[in-house]
Structure formats: C-alpha cells, structure tokens
C-alpha cells in the first residue's frame, strides 16, 4: 500500500523533473539563438533534412486527403442539393484543421523521430561530450539549428498540404463528380476568410512546429545513452508530440472559433 | 558542391511554401475582398436582421460596394442597428436610399441591398438610412401562408 503511494509520488516527481529539464532546455536553446543567425548554413542543412525531405509525404498525403474529402463531402452535400458548396467544405476543413494537424502528425513521424534518433545516437556515441571537450557548445552547434529548422519548416509544409489538398478536391469534385468549376472556387472564396480561417491555420501550424521540434530535440538530448534508450526516446517523441498536437489543437480551436 | 545542392533544395522548398500560402490567399480565401480602401460608414435600423452577419456584402443592383461593419441591438430604438461600410468612391448615394436585407438564393447567405432614391443630397459619413426593409423570415411567411389557407 505504502509502496503504491510512493510509486505515485515517484511518477509525479519524475514527470515534474522532465518538464523542468525540458523548460531549461528550451531556455538554453533560446539563449543560443544568435548562433543560428551567425552560422545560418547549419540551419539550412537542417531545413533540408527536416523540411525538404518531408515534402513528398506531405504533398502526397495532402493530395489524397483533399480527394477523399471531396468524395465524402459530395456524398453528404448532394442529398441536400448543395453539391456546389463542396469547395467551401474542402477548403475550410483543410485550412482550419486537417492541414495543420495532419501535417504535424506526419512531421512528428517523419522528421521528429529522425531528429530524436540522430541526437540520441550522438549522445550515445559521446559526440556531444566530445564537442563540449573541444569547447564547442552543442546548444549552439547542434540543438538550436535543428529546433529552428523544424519550427520554420512546419508552417510551410502545412501550407503546401492545404494547397495541394484543395487541388486534390478540385480533381475529384470537378473532374470526377462534375461539380461546376466556377462554383467550386467561388463557394470556397465566399466562406473562407483570410484572417479567421487561413491565418488561424497558419498560427496553429507554427505552434505545432514549435511543440514537435521542441519535443523531438529534447527527447534526443534526454535519451538514455543505450540502444534501448534511443528506441524508447524515438517512440516517446512520436507518441508525446502526436498527443500534444491533438490536445493543443482542441485548445487552439476553442480559442479561435469557440468565441461566437 | 553538396552544400550548393542543399541550398538550392531549401530555396525551392521555401519558395514552394510561400507559393502555397499565396495560393491559399488568392485562390482559396477572400483576401481580395479586403481591398476596400477608404470607406465611409452609414447606419440603418432594422426590426429584424435575420441571419445577417458582420462582413456580409452590401450591394447596389447586385454590384458589391461595401460590407457590413457592425451589427448590434439598440436598446433605445428597440431595433437592430447595422453599420454599413461603403467604399468612398460610391459617394453619390442619395439620402433617401433604401436598405433591405436579402437572401442569396432561397437558403443562401444574407446581404444588404441598397436601392438609390431620388434625393439631391447624398449620404455622408455617420448618416442614417431612414428607409429600411427587414429580413424575410421564412417561418413567418409559411405561418402566414398557413393561416391564409385556413380562411379560404
């Protein structure tokens, strides 16, 4: 009985300690941000490995999500004789929700896990300690560029996802199902607002990019330096950042669209 | 050589992302509606605004000349006070212009239609449109139709 209570206590203390370490880690990254500007080449490299190499999966996923949305939306709308509203349905669901959220989930799986595994291995093979021995600050040299690269790539990837999704919806809605092409876009423009819909989606994707990069880089830094530790940290990155994205999405949606 | 390729790829990536955002702005959203430039505001009182929303279009003969800037209930007039922001180039509207709330299609979104009158004075910023016609509430119409049927 007392053991059970003690284990609850240990669990809470551990959770608190992780939170504290993660916050300190973030602060150290912020302190090292000037290095990102000074040695921009490092960040460009990371944008390549985190962002550019995620483009394919994001674009293909966006295309298919848009096409499926158009199919399903059409089936529902055509019963009400409102098939012309398809463009609005597709664009709103993509821009507001699916673009940022699905991109963030893909990003966590594709880029976040890779970041964690890379950093975990660097830690295991004592590359980070070696850097410190050579008076190279790993925060400036390794962590900050990776964090900034993930943070910058997410909004761009989410925008691509939404744009490609809209085109996918066009292919199915107009090409296959015979919705009028002009109605598709005019309905879309009538219901989609730049400030309220597109910008809130962009804000969401920036927040998600921040959180996913933070979790991924932190998990890599915090990994137990064994092969098992790396695998656990990689899993943790995907699980924790996916849950964080979904939970944050609920909160952000409530803040942005719950008002009226 | 390798670095050059990476820089090129990142450049293309960033340009693609910006292009996607631009596409969302121009093709998907109504950002083009924001180019209203200078506007002046007039108010109109309606006994019922129906489903009219802020930023709904204001049309004359079907041509968009402005948008609804604000809708609130006026506790002194016991009516809804609708503020219309009209583009400054349309400064020729007669003072006895009539404003009515119409619905695009049977169940579409609602907008304000202006019907110019014959007065020589024109509407100025802060003026009030005196002649208004409220939104048609479909339930009332159906109710009236039903009672009329009973009388026959």
pLDDT at residue B149 tops 80: no
Give the pLDDT of residue B48. Answer: 85
Helix, strand, coil shares of chain A as percentages rounded to 5? 90, 0, 10
pLDDT at residue B103 tops 90: no
Residues B89 and B117 in one domain: yes
Question: Token pair 């997410």 is at which residue?
Answer: A154
- Exposed (0-12), middle (13-18) or buried (19+): which is A94, by Cβ within 10 Å? buried
Among B9, B31, B55, beta carbon nearest to A52: B9
Residues B21 and B40 in one domain: no
- Exposed (0-12), middle (13-18) or buried (19+): which is A170, by Cβ within 10 Å? buried
Residues B9 and B60 in one domain: no
pTM for this prediction: 0.78
Tell me the chain A residues in contact with residue B9 when contact means C-beta distances shorter than 8 Å. Answer: 48, 52
Give the pLDDT of residue A148. Answer: 93
- Structural domain range at position B131: 36-142
Tell me the chain B residues in contact with residue A192 when contact means C-beta distances shorter than 8 Å. Answer: 28-30
- Is residue B97 one of the residues assigned to a domain? yes
Instruction: Report CB contact under 8 Å: B10, A52.
Output: yes
Domain ranges of chain A: 32-255
- Is residue B147 one of the residues assigned to a domain? no
Residues B26 and B46 in one domain: no
Residues B24 and B55 in one domain: no
* pLDDT per residue as tens digits for the range A178-207: 888 888 888 888 788 887 888 899 999 999
- Is residue B149 one of the residues assigned to a domain? no
Give the pLDDT of residue A27. Answer: 94
Residue A184 distance to chain B (closest CA, Å): 10
Give one DSSP letter per residue of B62-95, joined into a string: TEEEEEEEEEEEETTTTEEEEEEEEETT----BT
Token duo for residue B38: 């200078």
- Is residue B105 one of the residues assigned to a domain? yes
Tell me how long chain A is. 260
Residue B32 distance to chain A (closest CA, Å): 9
ipTM of the complex: 0.81
Instruction: Report CB contact under 8 Å: B31, A91.
Output: no
Split into its structural domains, chain B has a count of 2
B66 beta partners = B58, B86
Choosing among A159, A165, A201, A260, which should be mutated to test the B contact, i.e. which has the most B CBs within 10 A? A159
Choosing among B10, B21, B28, B109, which should be mutated to test the A contact, i.e. which has the most A CBs within 10 A? B28
Residue A187 distance to chain B (closest CA, Å): 9
What is the percent of chain B where pLDDT is above 90?
Answer: 7
Residues B52 and B26 in one domain: no
**A91 contacts chain B (CB < 8 A):** yes
Give the pLDDT of residue B31. Answer: 67
Residues B85 and B20 in one domain: no
pLDDT at residue B34 tops 70: no
Instruction: Report CB contact under 8 Å: B29, A190.
Output: no
- Is residue B26 one of the residues assigned to a domain? yes
pLDDT by residue for chain A (260 residues), tens only, comes to 889 999 999 999 999 999 999 999 999 999 988 888 888 888 999 999 999 999 999 999 999 999 999 999 999 988 887 888 888 889 999 999 999 999 999 999 999 999 999 999 999 999 989 999 999 888 888 999 999 999 899 999 999 999 999 999 999 999 998 888 888 888 888 788 887 888 899 999 999 999 999 999 999 999 999 999 999 999 999 999 999 999 999 999 988 887 65
**Closest listed residue to residue A74, CA positions, set A157, A178, A208, A161:** A178
Tell me how long chain B is. 152
Residues B19 and B63 in one domain: no
Mean residue pLDDT of chain A comes to 91
Residues B84 and B111 in one domain: yes
Residues B61 and B75 in one domain: yes
């Amino acid at each position: 009985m007392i053991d059970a209570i003690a284990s609850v206590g240990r669990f809470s203390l551990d959770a608190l300690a992780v939170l504290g370490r993660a916050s300190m880690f973030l602060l150290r990254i912020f302190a090292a941000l000037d290095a990102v500007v000074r040695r921009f080449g490092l960040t460009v490299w990371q944008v390549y490995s985190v962002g550019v190499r995620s483009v394919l999966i994001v674009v293909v996923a966006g295309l298919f999500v848009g096409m499926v949305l158009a199919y399903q939306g059409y089936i529902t709308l055509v019963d009400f004789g409102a098939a012309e509203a398809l463009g609005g349905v597709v664009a709103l669901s993509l821009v507001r929700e699916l673009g940022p959220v699905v991109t963030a989930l893909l990003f966590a799986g594709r880029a976040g896990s890779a970041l964690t595994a890379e950093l975990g291995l660097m830690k295991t093979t004592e590359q980070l300690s070696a850097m410190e021995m050579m008076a190279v600050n790993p925060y400036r040299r390794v962590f900050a560029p990776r964090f900034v690269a993930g943070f910058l790539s997410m909004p761009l990837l989410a925008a691509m996802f939404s744009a490609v999704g809209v085109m996918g919806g066009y292919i199915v809605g107009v090409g296959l199902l015979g919705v009028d092409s002009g109605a598709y876009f005019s309905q879309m423009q009538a219901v989609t607002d730049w400030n309220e819909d597109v910008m809130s989606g962009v804000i969401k994707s920036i927040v998600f990019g921040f959180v996913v990069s933070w979790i991924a880089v932190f998990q890599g830094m915090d990994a137990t330096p064994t092969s098992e530790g790396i695998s656990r940290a990689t899993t943790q990155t995907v699980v924790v950042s996916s849950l964080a994205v979904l939970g944050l999405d609920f909160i952000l949606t409530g803040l942005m669209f719950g008002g009226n | 050589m390798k670095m050059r390729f990476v820089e090129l790829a990142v450049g293309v990536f960033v340009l693609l992302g910006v292009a996607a955002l631009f596409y969302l702005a121009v093709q998907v959203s109504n950002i083009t509606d924001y180019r209203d430039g200078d506007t002046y505001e007039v108010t109109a009182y309606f006994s019922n605004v129906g489903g009219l929303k802020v930023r709904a279009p204001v049309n004359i003969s079907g041509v968009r000349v402005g948008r609804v800037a604000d809708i609130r209930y006026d506790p002194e007039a016991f009516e809804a006070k609708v503020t219309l922001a009209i583009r400054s180039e349309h400064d020729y509207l007669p003072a006895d212009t009539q404003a009515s709330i119409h619905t695009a299609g049977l169940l579409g979104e609602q907008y304000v239609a202006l019907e110019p009158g014959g007065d020589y004075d024109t509407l100025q910023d802060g003026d009030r449109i005196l002649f208004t016609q409220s939104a048609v509430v479909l339930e009332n119409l159906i109710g009236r139709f039903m009672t009329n049927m009973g009388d026959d």
